[in-house]
Amino acid sequence: MDVVGEVDGLHAQLRSSAELSLWARVDKLKRNDVEKWLWTDRRLVKTWAMRGTLHLLRSDEYPLWQAGLGTYEHYLKPAWFRGFGVTRAELDRLIASISRALDGRTLTRDELAARVAKITKSDALAERLRGSWGAMLKPASFQGHLCFGPNKGRNVTFARPDQWLGLSESDAIDPTRALEEITRRFLSAYGPATREDFARWWSVSPATGGRLISGLGGEVAPAGLDGGKYWALTESLDEIRAASPTRSVRLLPGFDPYVIGSTIHAAKLMTGDFKARVHRPQGWVSPVLLVDGRIDGVWRHDRKGKRLVVDIEPFARVPKWVVRGAELEAESLASFMNAPLELKWLG
């Protein structure tokens, strides 16, 4: 739980990405731990979060994130309403009906749409909930009316966060305080960073990102990197200055927080023009071979029968110590997945 909080949630567009991001950071993680924490213990919650992407968050920190996400306004712009063919009144009606439909139950998307149709007496409005990208579900999520429940077969389900997590009105957090804390947490995990880094990660304008950073006053200080306007938490400066390079080889999964957080500066973490190999079309982010903090290649894994096949493709020839380090990582992954390893080096 400490790790989930320190990296500001686990990206969960793919369930395996969240699980493997935790595997990369926590020794002795068991294969069913994440499932248990999500659906049995409910220590984690799955919801649409920053940038409208799926994340796993600590359940005890859900009120913090929801208060911040509740300030999102991009879906309240005229262009958004025109693009999705709804009015503000229809969206408000839809969100209210979602909360009512989920009262005391978890529902699949089709079940939710059917119940919303009965509540609103509008099949056309309810039909919008069946869109694959969840455009009409995300606003309800941002406003704290919807999170994910356990799957029914292959279908996802939705629940009301207050009931699923046992929250009360006293758990609510002031949005201004929430945004301050979220800004601190971003800089703690990803600083030194520019206002543009934060703005992209939190999905606001650079001007808004800058105001949120400067709003922390003396808690932040400039960090002189490349002459740019980088910021870090003042309390972390001594630790940053004292840090020294360490030799390491890691296999990070797709959508890992380390790679997501470095999107703007990805080219500086590579020895050549390989950014398109990592940050791919439609927002997909590849698993990466990380060497001393640099992105030196990509990799993938697949189950074939009882075997776990791991293919590693470095961007250039790597020394023997990197080969051995990557092999150890692949062996650890195979052990985590309880499968014999078949490792291939490509290129």
State yes or no: pLDDT of 271 exceeds 90: no
Q: Do 18 and 100 belong together in one domain?
A: yes
d(CA 130, CA 112): 9
CATH number at residue 183: 1.10.10
Report whether pLDDT(249) > 90.
Answer: yes
Share of the chain above pLDDT 90, in %: 85
55 with 142, same domain: the answer is yes
Q: Are 196 and 209 in contact (CB under 8 A)?
A: yes
Mean pLDDT is lowest, of 30-39, 125-134, 229-238, 250-259, for 125-134
SS3 153: coil
Residue pair 259/7 in contact (Cβ under 8 Å)? The answer is no
Q: Per DSSP, which regions of 174-248 are E strands?
A: 220-223, 230-233
Amino acid at 256: D
Which of 117, 147, 171 is the last residue in one of the domains? 171
Domain final position from 242, 263, 296: 242
The pair phi, psi for residue 193, each rounded to 5°, is: -150, 155
Span 67-94, pLDDT tens digits = 999 999 999 999 999 998 899 999 999 9
Shared-domain flag, residues 67 and 149: yes
Provide the pLDDT for residue 262: 87
pLDDT digits (tens, 9 = 90+) for 15-68: 899 999 999 999 999 999 999 999 999 999 999 999 999 999 999 999 999 999
Q: Report the alpha-carbon distance of residue 91 to residue 76 in Å, rounded.
A: 9
**What value does the CA radius of gyration of the chain take, rounded to a whole number of Å?**
21
Instruction: Please indicate, yes or no, whether residues 231 and 261 belong to a single structural domain of this protein.
Output: no
pLDDT score, position 132: 61
Question: Do 261 and 211 fall into the same domain?
Answer: no
Cα angle for residues 5, 9, 15 (degrees, 5° grid): 135
Percent of the chain with pLDDT strictly greater than 70: 99
pLDDT bin (cut points 50, 70, 90) of residue 125 is confident
What residues contact 142, with CB distance under 8 A and at least 6 apart? 48, 66, 69, 70, 72, 75
165 and 19: one domain? yes
Is the model's pLDDT at 227 over the cut of 70?
A: no
Please report the DSSP string for 57-89 in residue order: EEGGGHHHHHHHHTT--GGGSHHHHHHHT--HH
Q: At what angle do helices 88-101 and 109-120 cross, to 10 degrees?
A: 110
Look over the chain and give the mean of its residue pLDDT values, rounded to a whole number: 94
Rounded to the nearest angstrom, the gap between the alpha carbon of residue 237 and the centroid of all alpha carbons in its chain is 26
Confidence band (pLDDT; 50, 70, 90) for 201? very high
Report pLDDT digits (tens) over 131-175. 767 889 999 999 999 999 999 999 999 999 999 999 999 999 999
Asked if 268 and 234 sit in the same domain, the reply is: no
Q: Are residues 27 and 139 in the same domain?
A: yes
Q: What is the pTM of this model?
A: 0.94
Domain count, the chain: 3
Q: Which of 181, 156, 158 is nearest to 66 (CA)?
A: 181
Last residue of a domain, one of 116, 150, 171: 171
Question: Which 3 state secondary structure label does DSSP give 264?
Answer: coil
Residues 288 and 325 placed together within one structural domain of the fold: yes
pLDDT of residue 339: 96
User: What's the pLDDT at 264?
Assistant: 82
Q: Are residues 285 and 303 in the same domain?
A: yes
- Take residue 243 and report the two structure tokens written for it: 């840090």
Position 267 confidence tier, pLDDT thresholds 50, 70, 90: confident
Strands (E), 114-210: 147-152, 155-159
DSSP state of 40: I
Question: Which residues does residue 312 pair with via DSSP β-bridges, in sequence order?
Answer: 299, 345
Host domain of residue 235: 175-242
Q: Which amino acid is at 46?
A: K
Q: What is the pLDDT of residue 139?
A: 96
Whether 313 and 269 share a structural domain: yes
155 neighbors 149 (Cβ within 8 angstroms) = no
Structure tokens at 118: 């009965």
Task: Render pLDDT for 281-318 as a digit per residue (tens, 0 to 9).
Answer: 888 999 999 999 999 999 999 999 999 999 999 999 99
CB 112 within 8 A of CB 161: no
CA–CA gap between residue 122 and residue 129 (Å, rounded): 12
Q: Are residues 6 and 119 in the same domain?
A: yes
Q: What gap in Å lies between CA 182 and CA 194, rounded to an integer? A: 15
